[in-house]
Chain A
């Protein structure tokens, strides 16, 4: 029997990270004045008011949750588009936009300017409040 210290260290560090992880998922980080995304870059039309660009991968359970939520939210809004992009086949774009994990959702205004981004599955209220902020 060795010391139990390594177990304690791992579990404490993982718990600290885990609490941060759970709290930060879906939270929108405002990136004012950064990046312009065109319809050509994402190969899809932008919404006339806002566009939600979701980056997904195959090994990602919350990507599925995020897709269902964003599809549902945008279904009721004809001026807000939801576009899902597979990171694996779009690595160049992923690098350019500095996407590091999935799902990452970029919130674009009418002209395609990124106003904020969120890592992890967002909550409905978080999505709605960003869309409302873009409209103003």
Chain B
């Protein structure tokens, strides 16, 4: 029998432009990380991902920049978004950032490069094309896990 969860029961609602702006900054930071192989740059991004994943995307420093310096200048209707999709994306970003850090610390540079490249690709897609990571990979993960 089919059971339908209450999908309409939403959690916190955000300004959808906030996470997308954050993805723009993330794109820049991950580009710097990829170009420099710098441990501190990827660590800072990992901390930002961790705040977004565990506390919520509205609490990251990038969200603070958005609220303080960008939002006041935006006009028009505020597009609303459930907190869960961007929070999921931040969790995936955190996993890739941790993988990159482990790769760098253990001297396996290719692991660092690939992990940062995937995270950069996803962040750029989110910022430029409003790509929804959870839409594309969450179901695949569910299907793979319960096979």
A41 near B2: Cβ-Cβ < 8 Å: yes
> Hey, which chain A residues are within 8 Å of B130, CB to CB?
22
Cβ of A39 to closest chain B Cβ, rounded Å: 10
B105 interfacial by beta-carbon distance below 8 Å: no
- Tell me whether chain A's interface is mostly helix, strand or loop, or mixed: helix
A30 interfacial by beta-carbon distance below 8 Å: no
> Hey, which chain A residues are within 8 Å of B10, CB to CB?
64
> Hey, which chain A residues are within 8 Å of B89, CB to CB?
59
Q: Which of B52-60, B94-102, B138-146 contacts A (4 or more CB under 8 A)?
A: B138-146
> Hey, which chain B residues are within 8 Å of A103, CB to CB?
135
> Hey, which chain A residues are within 8 Å of B31, CB to CB?
7
The proximity string for B residues 108-120 relative to A, scoring 1 for CB distances below 8 Å and 0 otherwise, is: 0000010001001
The proximity string for A residues 56-67 relative to B, scoring 1 for CB distances below 8 Å and 0 otherwise, is: 111111111001
> Hey, which chain A residues are within 8 Å of B146, CB to CB?
91
> Hey, which chain B residues are within 8 Å of A13, CB to CB?
121
> Hey, which chain A residues are within 8 Å of B129, CB to CB?
18-19, 21-22
B131 near A18: Cβ-Cβ < 8 Å: yes
| New A-B contacts (13) at CB < 8 Å, excluding given A2-B37, A61-B16 | A1-B36, A2-B34, A7-B120, A10-B124, A19-B129, A42-B2, A58-B84, A59-B88, A62-B132, A87-B139, A93-B2, A94-B139, A100-B140
CB-CB nearest 10 A-B residue pairs? A59-B134, A43-B2, A18-B129, A59-B88, A86-B5, A14-B121, A60-B135, A61-B85, A59-B138, A59-B85
